[in-house]
């Protein structure tokens, strides 16, 4: 959504500007997680790096990570224009803080100081090889640590559709999501299916999850503030 996936390495500063302005005016303390879009996903797919651990060429890993850092720099530069004071960090900076309490204290400390923590999907080394860790998985892990009131997924669609129709499902429960047949998508991390799986787990722990269009800034703002909005809510 913050990139044009049909055009490799195409950043959409207008979209990030609109969302940044809404975050800045919301008076909410926010942790931002963004995906790879036409930066990381393009290279990951090219080099066969997916969410399943496998062997991958070193050059592919380096190029994919480099692209993610390039995109993150662009996002943070745009956020700076709206005085959001981004504090970019690799998800591995968070992983290195063993245990929930140290990580929660670190993130809350940044928020208290007026900074906006920003992280992103990345490539990690496992005993079985390299794999992509998606922004959706990172959101799920951060929700476990911070137990926020809500998580907002800004999408390039208006929410979760009923089957193949364009009818929005206004509310879902974790149990209903588990019964849904959702295709995995063609990007490196599973598309909407992974987002819904993450949302089900987050909602089951008591956090309200919002799926809203990132192109509808007023609706995004409502979701961010905990108001009723046009999109899909996931809750237990």
The CA distance from 161 to 80, in Å, is 34
Q: What is the pLDDT of residue 166?
A: 87
For the chain (236 residues), the mean pLDDT of every run of 10, in chain order, is: 92 98 97 94 92 92 95 98 96 68 92 97 91 92 94 96 91 95 61 92 97 98 98 96
Task: Give pLDDT, residue 130.
Answer: 94
**Sign, CA torsion 69/75/80/83:** negative
> What structural domains does the chain harbor?
13-234 (3.40.1160.10)
Residue 101: its pLDDT value, please? 85
pLDDT for the residue 234: 98
Q: Which two tokens stand for residue 80?
A: 């700076």
Q: Render the burial of 22-37: b for 16+ CB within 10 Å, e for the rest.
A: bbbeeebbebbbbbbb
Q: What pLDDT is attached to residue 182?
A: 80
User: Which pLDDT belongs to residue 185?
Assistant: 58
The whole-number pLDDT of residue 94 equals 67
């Amino acid at each position: 959504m913050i990139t044009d996936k049909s055009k490799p390495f195409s950043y959409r500063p207008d979209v990030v500007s609109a969302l940044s302005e809404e975050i800045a005016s919301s008076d909410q303390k926010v942790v931002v997680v963004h995906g790879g879009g036409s930066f990381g996903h393009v290279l990951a797919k090219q080099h066969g790096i997916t969410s399943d651990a496998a062997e991958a060429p070193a050059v592919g890993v380096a190029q994919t990570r480099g692209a993610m850092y390039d995109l993150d720099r662009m996002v943070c530069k745009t956020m700076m224009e709206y005085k959001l004071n981004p504090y970019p960090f690799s998800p591995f900076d968070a992983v290195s803080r063993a245990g929930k309490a140290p990580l929660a204290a670190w993130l809350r400390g940044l928020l208290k100081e007026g900074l906006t923590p920003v992280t992103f999907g990345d490539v990690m080394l496992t005993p079985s090889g390299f794999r992509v860790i998606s922004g959706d998985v990172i959101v799920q892990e951060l929700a476990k640590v911070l137990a926020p009131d809500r998580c907002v997924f800004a999408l390039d669609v208006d929410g979760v559709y009923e089957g193949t129709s364009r009818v929005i499902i206004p509310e879902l429960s974790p149990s209903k999501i588990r019964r849904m047949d959702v295709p995995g998508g063609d990007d490196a991390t599973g598309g909407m299916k992974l987002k819904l799986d993450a949302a089900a787990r987050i909602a089951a722990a008591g956090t309200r999850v919002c799926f809203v269009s990132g192109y509808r800034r007023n609706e995004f703002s409502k979701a961010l503030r905990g108001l009723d909005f046009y999109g899909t809510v996931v809750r237990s």
